[in-house]
Amino acid sequence: MKVGCCGFPGGMKKYFQEFSLAEIQKTFYSLPKIGTAERWRSQAGEDFEFTLKAWQLITHPPSSPTYRKAGIEVKDKEKYGFFKATDEVFFAWEKTREIAEALRASVVVIQCPPSFTQTEENLSNLKNFFGSIERGRLILAIELRAPWDRGVVAEICKELELVHCVDPLRDEPVTAKLAYFRLHGSYEKGRINYRHRYTDEELRKLKDKVLSYRLSYVLFNNIYMGEDAKRFLELLRGNI
């Protein structure tokens, strides 16, 4: 089991001393320079493992507020997001892969927006995209935030060699053996409460769920992610 955070609570230097895994979220908004990624890699140490989120130009349309947050303005807006078969989307993947290689990352998380629903067009785009890209040794984990039929998701993951990324306290993945879990907080009235602090009972439930997989990545993504991830590690060590 591998435990870490989606980011670096407390700062990179301290984080590298306390954890051995981190998911880079900055890459979702805009990609760093190759030199920056290489510097992170060298500062982290050989035994540290990186994962990262794919650039939003692949998955999210320009109408998404995350474009505005990142200060991204694009022309030909219809050519971005939803895994469209455009030069722009494939370019965004290649740039994401370059950063993954610089970090020697093991997993790339492809997070879809809630607007990416189960339609024939979206399904076709998914199959074309993942059937066309170069991935090397990267594990690709897809996080679908809209309701999709579990049977369809299972077929997609098997056909396209994807890991089904979910919040294990809210859903069960359709893929087995290797699991990639992201814990965002609590869900209230259909919205995520990132300010949720996980209880000891929730962490024990999490432990029971993730131990059933051969290999589990457990990434905390709430406001208290650093504290909760440390408590979870203590639980795994038998100190809680």
> Which pLDDT band, with edges at 50, 70 and 90, does 238 fall under?
confident
> Which pLDDT band, with edges at 50, 70 and 90, does 172 fall under?
very high
Q: What is the pLDDT of residues 91-100, one digit of tens each?
A: 999 999 999 9
Q: Where are the beta strands (DSSP E) in the chain?
A: 2-5, 21-24, 49-53, 107-111, 139-143, 163-164, 178-183, 186-188, 191-193, 215-220
Which ranges of 33-86 would DSSP assign to H, the alpha helix?
34-44, 56-59, 65-70
pTM confidence score: 0.95
Domain boundaries of the chain, sorted by first residue: 2-236
Q: Residue 216's pLDDT is what?
A: 96
> Which pLDDT band, with edges at 50, 70 and 90, does 190 fall under?
confident
The CATH label, of 1.10.10.10, 3.20.20.410, 1.20.1440.120, 3.40.50.300, for the domain at 2-236 is 3.20.20.410
